Structure 1
Amino acid sequence: MASIVEAVEWGRTGRAGAARERLTTLWEEIGPTGDPFHRCTLAHYLADLQDDPADELRWDLRALEAADTLTDERAQRYHASLAVAAFRPSLQLNLAEDYRKLGRPDRASEHLALARESLPTLGDDAYGQMIRDAVERLGATLALDSTPVGQEVPDRA
């Protein structure tokens, strides 16, 4: 995890290429059947470093696949407060955004609905609010994208 966290920090400080390269190397070391916590975390952050939305989708799908095999017990060995169910809103939100970018509003809406369903698993904290706000923003974006040309979108105020 220390190597993953270090690479993620590189990406956050403007060294996206180095971060992407390091995380890709770590993925190859961990392998597709390695520790699911490492795979989920790594794929989740590596998705954000992709230039191509199709590549971003592939990494986000890998993160979700790893989360499907991850247990709370394993996640809590990293940090006692972690619950795998609380990963789902962010993972589903990312998939919804990926599909939106790829021009697949049907799939985007499906994953956004799954993100909404899992929102109650989030804590009442800054992270939970950030994800809730992002779900609402993407929902509004998808609604705007599906509005026929010339038709007004109702005011949400």
Structure 2
Amino acid sequence: MTTDPTLVRIGEAVQANHRGEREAARALFAGIWDEIGGERGDPLYVCTLAHSMADAQDDVGQELVWDERALAAAGSLTDARLAEAGVAMPVAALYPSLHLNLSECHRRLGDLDRAREHLREAEATIGALGDDQYGEVIRKGLRQVAERVGRPSAEGPSSQALS
């Protein structure tokens, strides 16, 4: 568990979003976004905040913009920076979730080719996930999106809805 104050504040905004306080969550995220310097900020904060802000969007186009920002920032992250912040996972473990979210956005926008591209990217990086609850949530999501874009996932079939 991290004690990094910025990550803690991002986590508080995530919790507000989970409680259904979407406007409040977006306002918290926006304030932190300004404080960290937006896309030019620390890649850890940019990636984490953008990934979370995407989930607070009502418009899928805006969700896609935030998910793309998260993926771009992940490219500048290092395992050392994650460890320094108390995040107990390698950067590689972020990619399946980032690509999963992008795949689902493109699917919802009707761009099945791009959805499949990101699904393939997510599946190619799935080996970085552990055999834990987080890994299972992502694997389940991959199966669900694969069904929605009309092709079987490398992870096998599932009939449950993506959360």
Q: How far, CA to CA, are the matches of 1:19 and 1:138 in structure 2?
A: 26
Is residue 77 of structure 2 the alignment partner of residue 76 of structure 1?
no
Aligned equivalent of 2:69, options 62, 66, 73: 62
Are 1:22 and 2:28 matched, yes or no?
yes
Matches within 5 A, 1:6-155: 6-31=12-37, 32-79=39-86, 81-143=88-150
Q: Which runs of 5+ in 1 are unaligned?
A: 145-154
Structure 1 length as normaliser, TM-score? 0.89
Note the C-alpha offset of 1:79: 2.1
**Rounded Cα–Cα distance in structure 1 between residues aligned with 2:77 and 2:70:** 10
Deviation at 1:109, TM superposition (A): 0.3
**Offset of 1:3 from its aligned partner?**
1.3
Cα deviation, residue 132, structure 1: 0.5
Partner of 1:151: none
After the TM superposition, which segments of 4 or more aligned residues of structure 1 sit over 3 Å from their partners? none
| Structure number with larger C-alpha Rg | 1
Root-mean-square deviation (CA), in Å? 1.7
User: Cα deviations across residues 75-126 of structure 1 (Å, max 9, x unaligned)?
Assistant: 1112252200000000000000010111100000000000000000000111
The TM-score normalised by the length of structure 2 is 0.86
Give the length in aligned residue pairs. 147
Identity %: 45
